[in-house]
Structure 1
């Protein structure tokens, strides 16, 4: 068998993507569906784990976007303070989307906006002590929850998969950067 259905002589039931590919193979036999073996599985994986991740953050009174904001501040290190521009560039969201999240987090006492000491027109976003503690507790809980999803892979397999995914992402990010560079020139 192909597509990882048979490994080491053991017949394993195919996954959702294998079933989709088989349907497409019947309907469009001339079409190469190999990209689905990786990208389709990545999408499927994201859809399978998303509810658990969102439930984890909801348990802390956060949605995923709000967690992303406080996590970005927390991992920036002391004093856990960034400009809105640094934040929305890191989060890859619009400034308007960030403002909405910041408003909710400020009302919840997790962040505060401070005037910059260097430029009176600029604002810094800082985690409060409560925000620091919540970001860390939520992240620790999320990592414990996510680690349970990896039980089907041994340590070596996890390391191999992580390395291959990193290589794929670096390649895609490089292609996108080169494309943006050629668009501006």
Structure 2
């Protein structure tokens, strides 16, 4: 941990308005990262600019890197809507990716922190490493999920990253001609064609990646029964795609999925939105110690409080604050519609049948001692 992550408080924050404090921190960080770059802008300066304590900044975002990722969002990444485009047929992916990138960068101001980071990465090794890590997270991970089972997925991902980042550098950062002045609607199909060169031949195996993996096992070990992997392989792939989708929605509100699990566990309890750590652990399928760690951060952010009730002062309850209730409702109003969108290709009867089958699978796993 850097020394900057354990700075003493820079001053009193607006403790009664955690949501407003987070917005103020994001606004201040956006300005200072853009003006001074990632390395030069300090958490103390950001806290002072936002009118909060340095400890509050860490409580909201965990670290300077966490704050920067929240500020820049998915500027160079493959957003969940792009991942979803693959469900419409693999041929849609290159065009959807090209159009989304152009749309995003056409509306990215020159003073955006992304621009500052990319420019500094050219000559500053730590900035280059930070950029690489973000690209791994926002580009490589979702592409790897889409190309599961493709033998040369690594090489294809390398080409896609190079094309995407090359367009950003040539068209937007350096503003070289003729790339700079070609209208986006004209540029898009050529951009998509370049991406297709890396993705097209991968479409067939990517669309049935699990079958591809099973076929390889059957070829190499004919006597080995790998039929169960037809289920678990697809469950894993669905889990990767699902988490990539919903994580982005949750993180746009300054929290992560782990924190959202705790907040929704309290929200479902109904007024006064209070449960014990053990009750939350059971509903969120995590250990009590895991809930405690999440609760520590949520309490520092002003989203929950710990309290003891008169009936048994030994038992600690977690309770949503007004800010926590407001936040979880705002996230839920975006989260659950997105889940329905993700199942948009399934009929209601298919959804119900799948839910029943997954329930049967859960019982089978429990009976086999998987818990």
- TM exceeds 0.5? yes
Whether 1:69 and 2:262 are equivalent positions in the alignment is: yes
Shift of 1:159: 1.8
Whether 1:49 and 2:242 are equivalent positions in the alignment is: yes
Partner of 2:163 in structure 1?
none
Q: How far apart are the structure 2 equivalents of 1:24 and 1:162?
A: 29
Partner of 2:213 in structure 1?
20
Matches within 5 A, 1:132-147: 132-147=325-340
SS at match of 1:62: coil
Partner of 1:32 in structure 2?
225
Partner of 2:307 in structure 1?
114
Whether 1:100 and 2:293 are equivalent positions in the alignment is: yes
Shift of 1:174: 4.3
Q: How far apart are the structure 1 equivalents of 2:333 and 2:366?
A: 28
Give the ranges of 4+ consecutive aligned residues of structure 1 lying more than 6 Å apart after TM superposition. Answer: none
- Count of aligned pairs: 166
SS at match of 1:156: helix
Shift of 1:173: 2.8
SS at match of 2:312: coil
* CA radius of gyration, larger in: 2
Partner of 1:4 in structure 2?
none
Q: How far apart are the structure 1 equivalents of 2:315 and 2:361?
A: 38
- List per-residue Cα deviations over 1:1-40 (Å, max 9, x = no partner): xxxxxxxxxxxx5511011011111111111211012111
Partner of 1:152 in structure 2?
345
Q: How far apart are the structure 2 equivalents of 1:113 and 1:53?
A: 28
- List per-residue Cα deviations over 1:87-116 (Å, max 9, x = no partner): 223333333322221111111111011122
Q: How far apart are the structure 2 equivalents of 1:32 and 1:124?
A: 48
Partner of 2:366 in structure 1?
173
SS at match of 2:214: helix
- List per-residue Cα deviations over 1:37-88 (Å, max 9, x = no partner): 2111111110122111111110111111100000101111221101122222
When the two chains are superposed, the root-mean-square deviation of aligned CA atoms in Å is 1.9
SS at match of 1:135: helix
Q: How far apart are the structure 2 equivalents of 1:122 and 1:159?
A: 39
Q: How far apart are the structure 2 equivalents of 1:122 and 1:163?
A: 36
1:88 is matched with which residue: 256, 259, 281? Answer: 281
Cα 1:151–1:89 change in 2 (3 A) is closer
Cα 1:102–1:169 change in 2 (3 A) is same
Q: How far apart are the structure 1 equivalents of 2:265 and 2:325?
A: 11
